Every structure is written in C-alpha cells, then in structure tokens.
Chains A and B, each alone.
Chain A
C-alpha cells in the first residue's frame, strides 16, 4: 500500500541552462516517482537565460518555469528557485541537476531521510559509492571537498553535489553570495554559520555521454578554488 503524505508540500527546483535535450526526461522521471509516493509537489525549472528550447520543453512537461533574464550561473539560478519555494510556503525543497545525473529514486530517498532525521540540509553524495564516476571526476570532487574542509571546516564527502534537500528552516535562513558553481561550498559554509543541521547520504550518479560533455571539468575546479579563497579572505575584512 502506498503511504499517503499529502501534508508535506515539496518544491523540486531544477536550475537549467541550455538543457533542452534532457530536461523533459528529468521532469517525466520525477513525475512518475512522485505519483507513487503521493507527495504534494511542484516542479520548478529555473531557466537561466537559455538560448535553446529548455523553457518550452519544461513548460510542455507541466513544470513551473521561472525565466532568468540574464544568465547568472548555477548559484544564482538555485537561489531564485529556493527563494520561490520560500515565498510560496513549501515545507521542503529539493535541488537537482538538469542533465539527468540524479535519479528520481534518490530524490525520494533523500526526502524521506530528511523528514525522518529532521536534517536542515541533506546532501546527496556521489562519492560515498563512486561507482560509475570517472576517476578524473572523483579526484576533482574529492579535491574540492578537501578544500571546502580546509577553508570552511565542513566535512562532507561531496561538496559539489547538486542534489540537496532543504528544510523549511533552511529555506528561510540560507543565503549565499556567489553565483557560479562555487556556491555549493559556500552554501555549506553559510549553513554551518547558521547552525543548521547538515548531513549527507549516498546517491548514484548516472553519467551519459551528454552529461559528461556538459558537466564541470577539472579546470572549472581551479576557478571554483580561486573564488572560494577570495570569498574566505574577503569575509575576514568584513
């Protein structure tokens, strides 16, 4: 028997930039799983100034689309989606990547876990079990997690994961400054400053040729590190 849980209102935020190829499948996959789980939910696609048909595809699949006038980066798009969730009184918000690397099953697993453990920020870690990930990506992500630990004192195995579950408290309190990929580490830092409960759980990463070509490479990691160091130093003088 499917357990009804209609009292929880969930906002699924998908930041997307030029993702017309995958966004449709991501939305249909989520809908299929959420129908079974019987949660009240809304899928929100933040179209971050895409030049392709991301908006139309998402709209056709029944998602709410928020259009960014300018391309701001993953951090800016995520902030907009979570701000929408906060303003519209959702109990829980989930963020996931639009390239299809996260499974709907892991999203649901995270929501159940977040509700049962009362975690404010739950991070889906691809590195607890890194099967399916290329060695280069594993090393790059491990390096960034290590730097996040050194700079901000946060011990998570996958600081760059896009699959995150936020409690209502996190939605109300969590804000960050950076708008690129470095927001992933900064968000954890802000959560720590706000004394929010942070935890992680293992997820599986589904890599296709498409997501491999779209994802961050290790050169992006250099930019992320530069930006994080700058942010850390700037804050010392504020």
Chain B
C-alpha cells in the first residue's frame, strides 16, 4: 500500500518535469536534442521508481509485489530526493542559460563599444 503511495506522490513531479521540458521546447528555449535527453532522463527516473521494488523482490527470490511495507520515512525520503533532483536540474539549466546570455551580452557590448570608439577616433 505504502509503495503505491510513494509512486502516486512522485508521478506528479515526474509529469511536471516532462510537461516543463515540453513547454520549454515549444517555446524554443531548448533544442530538440536537449528535449530528447531530458525526456529520457525523467522516463528513467519513472522506470526506476516503479520497477525498483518489484525488481528487488524478484532479485531477492520473493514473489513479485510481496514485500514488507515501506515506512513513512522511506516514502518521504524518496519523494524528497526526486523533488530535489527536479529542482537542481531545472536550476542548473536556468543558470547555464543566464551564463550564456551574460557571455553573449559582454561579447557583443565589447565589439559594439570598440566600433563606436573606432568611429569617433576617425571623425
């Protein structure tokens, strides 16, 4: 039962991440390649979340889905890890985009200012 709670709690986070990536792609903020990578990443998180427990039972020789209940702490901890992973990943992408913007801005500003200086020297 608690395993089901864990999955139900985390699926919205994964769906939110997927929705967010797709929106960014539609807004042309990310490339198709980045969309594919991010999509694969979150689908992997989903697979690990759904399959880890049955897989553990299978590997340890017990019948599938027949295992001891998860503690409340296990549920909270796993949900927190997935939430933090989502936040870190989106923040990292935001930082990289900002860095790129600043770099491009600095570059363009330097070129334009130098051209302006050059023109005023000529005049």
Q: Which A residues contact B (CB, under 8 angstroms)? A: 46, 64-70, 72, 76, 79-80, 83-84, 87, 177, 179, 234, 236-238
Contact = CB atoms under 8 A, between A and B. Distances in A.
A238 B111 contact: no
Contacts of A87: 111
28 contacts: A46-B110, A64-B114, A66-B110, A66-B111, A66-B114, A67-B110, A67-B114, A68-B106, A68-B110, A69-B109, A69-B110, A72-B103, A76-B103, A76-B106, A79-B103, A79-B107, A80-B107, A80-B110, A83-B107, A83-B111, A84-B111, A177-B100, A179-B103, A234-B92, A236-B37, A237-B37, A237-B38, A238-B33
B2 interface: no
Contacts of A66: 110-111, 114
Interface in B1-44: 33-34, 37-38, 41
Given A238-B34, A238-B37, A76 B114 contact: no
Contacts of A76: 103, 106-107
B37, B93, B106, B107: residue with the most chain A Cβ atoms closer than 10 Å: B107
Contact of A69 (B34, B37, B106): B106
Contacts of A177: 96, 100
A237 B41 contact: yes
A66 B111 CA distance: 6
Contacts of B52: none
A33 B37 CA distance: 49
Nearest to B37: A238
A238 B41 CA distance: 9
